[in-house]
Amino acid sequence: MTMFIYLQYHLKQNEKIIFIKNLDKIGYILYTNLKITQILYNDYINFTLFYQISKKNYYFDVIQRNFKKNLQNILT
């Protein structure tokens, strides 16, 4: 079963929520409030990111990325 993990962060003036679909069922994110504290991973993990503004239910910008150590490359 696919798990959805979410974290919150501030980007400019809009608070956004990133929903992360772990396609490989490997790796997850430990977070506190708006800060990413730790990401556990195993080699390269494919994530499909669903960006959502505020608490609205409208998805936009679906981005698929490969990355190894953290999400910082995506958030910046």
Q: Tell me the residue range of the domain where 34 lies.
A: 4-75
Confidence category of residue 75, pLDDT binned at 50, 70, 90: low
Count of structural domains within the chain: 1
Confidence category of residue 27, pLDDT binned at 50, 70, 90: very low
CA angle 23, 9, 35 (to 5 degrees): 90
Residue 71 scores a pLDDT above 50? yes
Q: Which residue has the higher pLDDT, 5 or 61?
A: 5
pLDDT over 90 percentage in the chain: 0
Tell me the residue type at 38. Answer: Q
Q: What pTM does this model have?
A: 0.17
Residue 46 scores a pLDDT above 50? no
Q: Would you give the end-to-end CA distance of the chain in angstroms? A: 30
* Radius of gyration in angstroms for the set of CA atoms belonging to the chain, rounded to a whole number: 12
